[in-house]
Each structure stands twice: as structure tokens, then as C-alpha cells.
Amino acid sequence: MNSRRRFLQKMAITAAGLPLLRFQSLAGNFRRDEPVLRVAMMGLGGYANRVADAMKACTKAKIVGAISGTPTKLSDWQQRFGIPVKNCYNYENFDQIKHNPDIDVVYITTPNALHHSQVLRVAAAGKHVICEKPMALNAKEGQEMVDACRKAGVQLLVGYRMHFEPKTLAITEMRKRNEFGKIMFFQGQCGFRIGDPTQWRLNKELAGGGSIMDIGIYAINGARYMVGEEPVWITAQEIKTDPVKFKPGVDETIQFQMGFPSGAIASCLSTYNMNYLDRFYLNGEKGFAELQPSTGYGPIKGRTNQGELTQPHVTHQTVQMEEMADILLRGKKPAIPVDGAEGVRDLKIIDAIYAAVRSGKREML
């Protein structure tokens, strides 16, 4: 009897202490005493699946909703990610998320041309937005999206996963500490041979362009955060070897150059017709940095004049969503911006690249 009494007393003391502990929910990795970012994915294609699978390892964000025009995809996601039917929408009725307190943010991974209208609708519904890059078809659309989110009192983030990648951040921190000295030159090479000629990425109406609107934006964005400045001029040249596959308005290969206020220059290549192009190179008066591969899903490999970069690889989308949860829920400021204004800066450069291709002249920014 005494033993039983001592056991019950011990259990009571233990139970009394439980609210003070941080522990994992039976449903997953989430801590009950921390807010979790509740995400609805819009556009359930290949990249959305990659993000959702990566989020299984997140402790600060989880998939709670889905938006798609394909009923079978919604059914599949309900089963795979435990999404309740009430949190599933199609493209006609997703405005009703404004009545759904289970959803904090909508992550948009649809074709480029749909981003503008979808972000405006999500903002009007009072939800935060994460939009894949490029954020819009041009800077005018992008600024309208930023303005709409600001007016609605919601945040707009862009899916710049490389802004959280450890080796990338290591180089930008070295540059901030002046370890490379005055930056002189950046080279960004981004490309692959694109497959199915009927896919949306080769449809001008849906993609807004060609390789620049897909893979080239990595070199544009990378030049900015590696050099640490905003470009002031652009020149660009287009090469098209297959006008059947790459129809008017869909660029196959573009070489472009950028000049920065300090005098640094960038030389970049964006292509849908060459494989094995995924390299950043930064040159300064006192040192250099190289990433190869530089923007793929990983692992990223890099070195500087001081030696090999050894930061461990973690799935990019897992890190991105953990960090974005901190930004949206806890006001964290990222080392490299990922907000809508950052997206507009890239779109202004894209606009200038296409203008330079048409004019054959230097375009000022």
C-alpha cells in the first residue's frame, strides 16, 4: 500500500511539471509551446510536392491545406499529408480561405503568369503569401502585388531558397567582412537542356519568356547578393538555335552583363539548351569564392581562396520554410531579403535584359 501511495505521489509530481517542459506532439515534430506556420500549397505540381515532402522535417511549419484545379490531386494530398477536406479548395473558390482560421499562409507554385492575380486574391482574403520566383511577369505586376499585400496588412515573401543556404551565406558573410577585398567580377552560369516542348515553361503566355524567367533569375539574383550591390546598367544578347522549340518570346539562351556602382561587373549566361551549367564565381582584389553546383537542390559545393566550404547540407526547402516561419511568426530579419521588394528588384532587371536584347544597347537602371 505504501509503495502504491509513493508511486502515485511521484506520478502527480511529474505530471505537475509537464506544462513547464518543451516536448514533441504525438502528431509530429511540433513543439506545443511554439506557434507553427500553417501552410496551404497552391498548384500541386512537381515543385509543390518537393516543398511539401521537405516540410515533413520542419518543426516550425506544416502543410494544412491544398489548392488545385485537379480533384484527384486534392484527394491524393488529403491522404498523403493528412489534410482535412475543409482545407481543400479549387481555383474558383479559394477566396473562401478568408473564413478558414486554420491557414496562415498560401504558398503559390503555379505558372508565372498566374502569380499576379492569385497573390492579389490571397491578400484580399487576409492571408500571408509565399510566391515562387519569378514573382510576376514584369516589375509593374510585381509592384502591384507588393502594394496589394501592404494594403491588406499581410506579408509577401518570395521562394528564394538559396538565401538560406549555408555555403551561400558563408560567402556573403565573408564578403561583408571584406575578406575578398574590393569586388571586381561575378560570373553566373545557369542552364540545362529543357525537355517536353509542350510544357508551360515554353509557353509565352504562361511563362512570360523562356530561360531567363526560369533558370536565369538565379544568376540575376545571385549577382546581387554575391556582389552586395544593385546593378546600374544592363547589356544582353540572345542566341536562338531552335526557333521551332523556342517560339517568339521564348528565349533559349541569353548572355547578359551588369555593371555595379563600385565598378564591379557581372557576366552571366542563362540557357535552356546546355547542361552542366550551375556555377557562381566571385572575384575580389584579395580573394575569390566559387560555388559549383551553385543553385541546384544540393548538395551545394564551394571553395574560396581560404579553402573548401564544409557547411553541412540540409534540404533547402526544409531550411527555407523553417526560416520563413520565423519571419512570418516571429519577425525575424533574414541575412538576405526574401520579401516582395526583393522580387521586384529582380523583375526590374529582367525587364531591362529583355529591353537590351531588343535594343542592342546598354539599358540603365
pLDDT band at 14; cut points 50, 70, 90: very low
What is the chain's mean pLDDT, rounded? 93
Calpha distance 95→212 (Å, rounded): 31
**In the beta sheet, which residues pair with residue 339?**
157
255: exposed, middle or buried (Cβ count in 10 Å: 0-12, 13-18, 19+): middle
- SS3 of 131, please? strand
pLDDT at residue number 31:
56
The active-site residue, picked from 62, 73, 133, 167, is: 133
The 10s digit of each residue's pLDDT in 103-120 is 999 999 999 999 999 999
The 10s digit of each residue's pLDDT in 55-102 is 999 999 999 999 999 999 999 999 999 999 999 999 999 999 999 999
In the predicted structure, residue 19 carries a pLDDT above the cut 80: no
Among 96, 89, 91, which Cα is nearest to 74's?
89
Calpha distance 189→267 (Å, rounded): 9
Residue 151 known to be catalytic: no
User: In the chain, what are the domain boundaries?
Assistant: 14-160, 162-314+340-364
Average pLDDT value for residue range 142-154? 98
pLDDT band at 18; cut points 50, 70, 90: very low
Count, residues in the chain: 365
Residue 176 known to be catalytic: no
15: exposed, middle or buried (Cβ count in 10 Å: 0-12, 13-18, 19+): exposed
pLDDT at residue number 155:
98
pLDDT band at 25; cut points 50, 70, 90: very low
In the predicted structure, residue 281 carries a pLDDT above the cut 90: yes
Q: Residue 293, preceding bond cis, omega within 30 degrees?
A: yes
pLDDT at residue number 15:
37
Q: Looking at the domain 14-160, which fold is it?
A: Rossmann fold (3.40.50)
In the predicted structure, residue 6 carries a pLDDT above the cut 60: no
What are the distances in angstroms from CA 351 to CA 228, 239, 260, 345, 363? 21, 18, 17, 10, 10
pLDDT at residue number 238:
98
In the predicted structure, residue 270 carries a pLDDT above the cut 50: yes
In the predicted structure, residue 141 carries a pLDDT above the cut 50: yes
The 10s digit of each residue's pLDDT in 210-230 is 999 999 999 999 999 999 999
pLDDT at residue number 34:
82
Same fold yes or no, 14-160 and 162-314+340-364: no
The active-site residue, picked from 89, 218, 225, 354, is: 218
Calpha distance 301→201 (Å, rounded): 28
Give the H or E element holding residue 105: strand 105-108
pLDDT at residue number 3:
45
What are the distances in angstroms from CA 309 to CA 70, 227, 228, 278, 306? 43, 18, 20, 17, 9
First to last CA, the chain: 84
> Does domain 162-314+340-364 match CATH 3.40.50.300?
no
Cell of 350: 529582367
